Copies of this chain bind each other. A is one copy, B any other.
Amino acid sequence: MTLSRLSFIISFILSTASISGQKIYSPTLSLQREDIFGDPEHAVSASIANEFETFFFNQTLDHFNYRPESYATFKQRYLINSNYWAGANSSAPIFVYLGAESPIDGATTIIGFLTDNAAQFKALLVYIEHRYYGESIPLGMSFEEALGDANVRGYFSSAQALADYAAIILHVKQNLKARDSPVIVVGGSYGGMLASWFRLKYPHVALGALASSAPILYFEDMTPQDAYYSVVTKDFKEASETCYQTIRDSWSEIDRVAQEPNGTSNLSKMFKTCKPLESGDEVKSYLKLLYARAAQYNDPPRYPVTQICSGIDGANTSENGILGKIFAGVVAYNGSSTCYVNPPTNVSQTSLGWRWQRCSEMAMPIGITSNSMFQPQPFILSNFTDGCNYQFGVVPRAHWVTTYYGGHDIELILRRFGSNIIFSNGLRDPWSTAGVLKNISESIVAIFTEKGSHCLDILVEKQTDPDWLVLQRKAEVEIIKGWIAKYYADLLAFKQ
């Protein structure tokens, strides 16, 4: 088990931590896989990923106010690769990756859409780190200090992040005298939401956006709260009906065993946990999020859902019955290890940072009511609010995202407003339930695959990629080429 794998698993466990007696169940909204680093199959554009230079921009702390503190600045990190750029004189394009809820380190290795297409677009590549992650933390603080200070973390918001991106992109363009170079922003997951919102709010900065797996409709009542877990369920059911049944039956079995004398201890043994379990709920939370994660990142060629189900279906039933099967699923997913479920690790920035973002503004109501292989766990806003208030002293602004960015009746609203956004999705990704899956206008389009997983299209190309994925990426590239061609024609007419 690699270090990165460990840190991802712990981020799952943490996101079910009991706060003020209220569990905040939260599937991670992140595009990073645990096993992506060091995968030899990812070698295709690995050399490009190493050609980046690191810069720091003197960023304004608070773009929207003019209080004395608003004028404070901090160093925001961004990475540039200009080796493939045809230059300002030919108005060659600029591809910008909008960093999301993690440090930008490694993004150039993971997000292949920019590096894989740099040569054919002759594009400048820019990867910008999101404020409060990695090395882009205000006031010279550590991540923990910044998140621990109510006044400092208060500037950690999506609107500020978008303004940061605008300021950096304009700065880069000015430095390179590349005023006429069209900018295409790319983002995935939360970063995909940022990319689509960026095109809508800053059309004068970005010509278009590729918003991969952006669940922009998972707010208020726009998407049923159980949409996410109903797709997790569907993915498992489609992989194997018996596997689905086993998982479905396993929760009450865990409850039953946990309530026996020495039940928690027995569970610990059954699951070879790294340290003794505190309750049966601990293993349930782990499994729930393991399945969510497998469904979300159900990437070819490995297909973790199939992998888990092979473990479950293929297990020797004589050993520990249902729970023996479930454990076989865990082993199939994780590989052979000395222990499972609760290995020691550190809290990741992604885990803590995203919890703050959910509690302040990204108040996505995700719950389980029915249509599920899981036990019901409805999202109750007041419980969520209590948890946020307890941990951060804030009440989530549950209506802000739709007030500032919209979302309701999006087909009606954007039918005659805006342009040049690709909403890409894979329908096996549970987040796709809150994505845009219909073309809205000629140039605000939905590109999805039946078998795709979370943000798959913007990851680095692999030799093993299935045809449908190759075709999806090709379609996206063609659309972006079309935007740029139209822009160059407009530019020519405009300059005359």
Contacts and interface: CB of A to CB of B under 8 A. Distances in A.
Contacts of A393: 68
Interface residues of A, number: 62
Given A64-B157, A68-B151, A494 B412 contact: yes
A159 interface: yes
Nearest to A408: B204
Interface string A57-68: 000101111111
Copies of this subunit: 2
A418 B415 contact: no
Interface in A289-314: none
A353 to B, nearest CB: 13
B66 A65 contact: no
A167 interface: yes
A201 B201 contact: yes
Contacts of A202: 404, 406
A339 interface: no
A44 to B, nearest CB: 34
Interface in A412-448: 412-420, 443
A400 interface: yes
Interface in A372-413: 393-395, 397, 399-400, 402-413
A55 interface: no
B395 A71 contact: yes
Nearest to A170: B403
A283 to B, nearest CB: 34
A361 interface: yes
A203 interface: yes
Interface string A355-383: 00000110000000000000000000000
A154 interface: yes
A240 interface: no
Contacts of A163: 403-404
Interface in A114-160: 150-151, 153-157, 159-160
Interface in A141-199: 150-151, 153-157, 159-160, 163, 166-167, 170, 179
A368 to B, nearest CB: 28
Contacts of A404: 63, 163, 166, 202
A411 B70 CA distance: 32
Contacts of A170: 399, 403
Contact of A490 (B201, B408, B416): B416
Given A403-B167, A403-B170, A409 B68 contact: no
Given A163-B403, A418-B417, A157 B66 contact: yes
A355 B165 CA distance: 29
Given A204-B409, A412-B490, 8 more contacts: A63-B159, A63-B404, A66-B154, A66-B397, A166-B403, A166-B404, A200-B203, A416-B443
12 contacts: A60-B397, A63-B404, A65-B65, A68-B154, A163-B404, A201-B201, A204-B409, A204-B410, A204-B413, A412-B494, A415-B490, A417-B418
